Structure 1
Amino acid sequence: MNDKRLKDFLDGKTEYTLGLFRFFVNALEQFGTVNLIPLKSMIAVEGKHKFAYLTQLGKNFIHIVIPFSKPFTDNLCFTKIAQVPGTSQYNHHLRIYQEDDFNDEVKSFLRMAHDGEDVD
């Protein structure tokens, strides 16, 4: 059973990282209601479905993974794109170091994931 709480992920984080986290959540709320679901090792972000995962809250960044059904290689924002073995899921890794990193390109990919529009 998973008894993680959001507080468990946020405790001990720098105020800078907490600010990035709050900024990220507030920005996602522009797409509609979002729920944060603490899992064993990450925080799932859910709208109508789970569309992103906060996998790391570092000293000065947040790391987000966005799953898509195909790789979006023509971008400037993802630090890594990896296919989940045995599936047609491609995890797109994104690091936010400052609020400006949450630019139009990042927003468009997150909106696409939120809306479930990751196919041609």
Structure 2
Amino acid sequence: MRRAPLALLLVAACAPKAASDAANPDSAKQAMMAPPPGASAAVFNCDDKTEIFALFATDSSGTGVVSLAIGDERVRLRQVPAASGARYADSTATFWNKGNEVTLERGGKTVTCTTAPTATEPPAPPAEKPAGSE
């Protein structure tokens, strides 16, 4: 069953902060960034300096869901109809993803975020030229 690991990950991502998370606040984020098969993860940098870790998946009914890690908070939203892009919402928050940009509305505040650059390997140092080849 491929859905069991996904369900477990989503429950863990949205559960209240555990004591082990207090010792290592990045543990939940690290778990979200190792998505199970069929899910994808992304990191967004927001204009208010917030960093959002998002795990996109499908629940057992086939509905799209996103689990967000925003600082110490965990939010799980279900996909709802959108004219364009992908929109996830509940009664307290809306997360709208279109291209490389997302908008998060919650608590009467709206922030705009963009996809964080992915880590890449540093460039290789230039090859040394043999003496006298200049």
Q: Which has the higher helix share?
A: 1
Q: State the TM bucket, normalised to the shorter chain.
A: 0.3 to 0.5
**Greater radius of gyration (CA):** 2
TM-score by length of 1: 0.33
More strand by share: 2
Q: Quick one: higher RCO (CA 8 Å, sep 6+), 1 or 2?
A: 1
